[in-house]
Amino acid sequence: MRIKLTTSVLLLASLFFIGGCKTDNKNTTLKLAHGLDPSHPVHKAMVFMGNKLDEISNGKMKLEIYPSGQLGSEQECVELLQIGSLAITKVSAAVLESFTPNYQVLGLPYIFRSREHAFKVLDGEIGKEFLNSTEQFNIKGLCFYDAGFRSFYTINTAINTPDDLSGLKIRVMKSQTAMSMVKSMGGSPTPISYGELYTALQSGVVDGAENNPPSLYSSRHYEVCKKYTLNEHTAVPDVLIISTVVWDKLSDQEKEWLQEAANASVPEERILWAQAEEEALREVAKAGVEIIRPDKTPFMKKVESIFESYKTNPEIYDLIQRILNVPEDTEVNN
């Protein structure tokens, strides 16, 4: 994939005089920009990372963090990063599919059996392979952040088994994998932009959607949807990425400090995310949402054919099998 710079990105770079990395008197400052609100667990983890970096480098290396889209949209931040005008940003792993198709595996339904299984995969050798797989596009992964599991929520139909999805219109992202998943479970996948979803639910254009607990809460979709089934079908992580243009300019010591700070922020982010999930589930339950915890086995069986469809692509199929074969008690090192 070639780097294609939009006019807006060039304007941003010139308007804000964005420099991904600056060095003054042997001190290095890296710019990190993202689109999340400062109250978001991932932003808080980045602040933790910045404090850790300052601490372990004795003030010789710092992060400047720009939240809430101050330096552009997610796509614009990625483009700025590729030319070295921005050092670090956060993207969903799904975004990186456009650079290397292997990333689509992380969005497959039930590729992860549990949160613990996901962490073992992402913290291990397979995770490192993913993080290093986009370097030819000037993008290097530093670490994965937890973005929770996505589950079904509906207006008034309780989803206890996949059969309960029959005939229901379920909003999905514009993703072939997501559409195949809902279809294989018996539902009718309906792609709708996230910004239009509240109105679509309210007016009955769709019968439900799927997302993680903090998103259900922050979007206020719980005001319309009163059934939330924690079947936890997908767990697409976030990825903290750095420009290789910037990375290659760092000394070996600076690279070590930065990677250590990023690694240290991972368990902190997971704690913050778990707290956000607990709060979200508590608040939506208070608002009258029924929380359903079904047997996941029937849901998992319904999507087994999706894995088998990748047999025609040996590289991706092998990657799927490697992930499925990772035991949850594997010891890993960051």
Distance, CA of 232 to CA of 226 (rounded, Å): 17
Q: Which residue has the tokens 């992202």?
A: 173
Average pLDDT, stretch 223-235?
A: 98
pLDDT at 1 over 80: no
121 contacts 323 by C-beta, under 8 angstroms: yes
3-state secondary structure the chain: CCCCCCHHHHHHHHHCCCCCEEEECCEEEEEEECCCCCCCHHHHHHHHHHHHHHHHCCCCEEEEEECCCCCCCHHHHHHHHHCCCCCEEEEEHHHHHHCCHHHHHHHCCCCCCCHHHHHHHHHCHHHHHHHHCCHHHCEEEEEEECCCCEEEEECCCCCCCHHHHCCCEEEECCCHHHHHHHHHCCCEEEECCHHHHHHHHHHCCCCEEEECHHHHHHCCHHHCCCEEEEEEEECCCEEEEEEHHHHCCCCHHHHHHHHHHHHHHHHHHHHHHHHHHHHHHHHHHHCCCEEECCCCHHHHHHCHHHHHHHHHCHHHHHHHHHHHCCCCCCCCCC
Distance, CA of 186 to CA of 173 (rounded, Å): 17
pLDDT at 87 over 60: yes
More confident residue, 129 or 193: 129
pLDDT at 272 over 50: yes
pLDDT value for 176: 84
141 contacts 131 by C-beta, under 8 angstroms: yes
Q: In the chain, what are the domains?
A: 7-92+134-146+238-278 (3.40.190.170), 150-234+295-324 (3.40.190.170)
pLDDT value for 17: 53
pLDDT at 11 over 70: no
pLDDT at 2 over 60: no
152 contacts 165 by C-beta, under 8 angstroms: yes
Other CB atoms closer than 10 Å to residue 156's CB: what's the count? 11
More confident residue, 21 or 136: 136
Classify the C-alpha dihedral 239-244-250-251 as positive or negative. positive
Other CB atoms closer than 10 Å to residue 21's CB: what's the count? 21
pTM of the model: 0.89
316 contacts 310 by C-beta, under 8 angstroms: yes
Average pLDDT, stretch 175-198?
A: 93
Distance, CA of 84 to CA of 232 (rounded, Å): 37
pLDDT value for 198: 97
Distance, CA of 225 to CA of 42 (rounded, Å): 26
Which residues contact residue 297 at a Cβ distance below 8 angstroms, ignoring those fewer than 6 apart? none
Taking Cα atoms as reference points, which of 250, 248, 257, 239 lies closest to residue 129? 239
Local confidence band at 26 (pLDDT 50, 70, 90 cut-offs): confident
pLDDT value for 175: 83
Distance, CA of 78 to CA of 84 (rounded, Å): 10
Taking Cα atoms as reference points, which of 84, 89, 71 lies closest to residue 262? 89
